[in-house]
Amino acid sequence: MSIALDESKIIGEQKRSYVRDMFARVAPRYDLLNSLLSLRIHHYWREAATREARLRPGDTALDVCTGTADLALRLAREVGSSGMVIGVDFCEPMLQLGLKKARRHSRHGQITLVLGDALQLPFASGSFEAVTVAFGIRNVVDIRKAFAEMWRVLKPGGRLVCLEFSLPRRQPFRSIYSLYFHRLLPYIGGLLSHRDAYTYLPTSVRYFPEREKLAQILREAGFVEVAWRELTFGIVCIHSGVKP
């Protein structure tokens, strides 16, 4: 099935079900395409996000929109056997794949994957030392509400880390990347998975708030020490903030 998506027009419950169904369809090939389309650089991006979370052994962390749990697995190494990482996502097929990986890496004792919505996190307030979200917030219907939820479940002093696609600003890289992102990526995505999902990706990035705007949204949600930095020529950005 192919859906022509105009991100500016699709909102609310319609976007929620579109996103969940889309990830359910791409789940079996999600990891393969992640590695292929990013030339495996996504491992380096997750590494950088992990460092930004500044976790210590024994800490408890939450990975929102965890998908197939790559970042949750990486975070689990930081918190060690005395700590705990919870991954939450509203798409069961993605979580099932994450669960298989967690079992393979024999860290499933430390990782719990929970079916739930970023807009209504099923956790008590003040539960986590860090909350991360990687390539997820762009897909959420109400970004402000999602950050308010992440703020709520963090402990005072806890860190939020948001890893998300962005658009490079410098030429000629911006034009070259745009060609790749809007033409080649949907083509390869179409060959190996579902073309509409890989057309949705660049569209959703285009409508996602710019770096400065996202930082402002975080401040308005109550975070302090808000900072952001670009990785890989600005293809992705890591935003961080602290709950006072």
Ligand X SMILES: C[S@@+](CC[C@H](N)C(=O)[O-])C[C@H]1O[C@@H](n2cnc3c(N)ncnc32)[C@H](O)[C@@H]1O
- Binding residues vs ligand X (CB under 6 A): 19-20, 23, 65-67, 70-71, 89-91, 94, 117-119, 134-136, 139-140
* For ligand X, the closer CB: 118 or 161: 118
User: What's the start-to-end Cα distance of the chain, in Å?
Assistant: 46
133: left (phi over 0), alpha (psi -120 to 50) or beta: beta
* For ligand X, the closer CB: 90 or 198: 90
66 and 98 in contact (C-beta within 8 Å)?
A: yes
Q: Provide, rounded to whole angstroms, the least separation between the CB of residue 123 and ligand X.
A: 13
Q: Provide, rounded to whole angstroms, the least separation between the CB of residue 75 and ligand X.
A: 11
* For ligand X, the closer CB: 136 or 168: 136
* For ligand X, the closer CB: 68 or 110: 68
Q: Provide, rounded to whole angstroms, the least separation between the CB of residue 138 and ligand X.
A: 8
Q: Provide, rounded to whole angstroms, the least separation between the CB of residue 242 and ligand X.
A: 21
Q: Provide, rounded to whole angstroms, the least separation between the CB of residue 172 and ligand X.
A: 28
* Residue with the shortest CB distance to ligand X: 67
> Kind of pairing, strands 128-134 and 111-115?
unpaired
**For residue 230, how many other CB atoms are within 10 A of its CB?**
15
* For ligand X, the closer CB: 17 or 82: 17
**Distance (Å, rounded) from C-alpha 108 to C-alpha 86?**
10
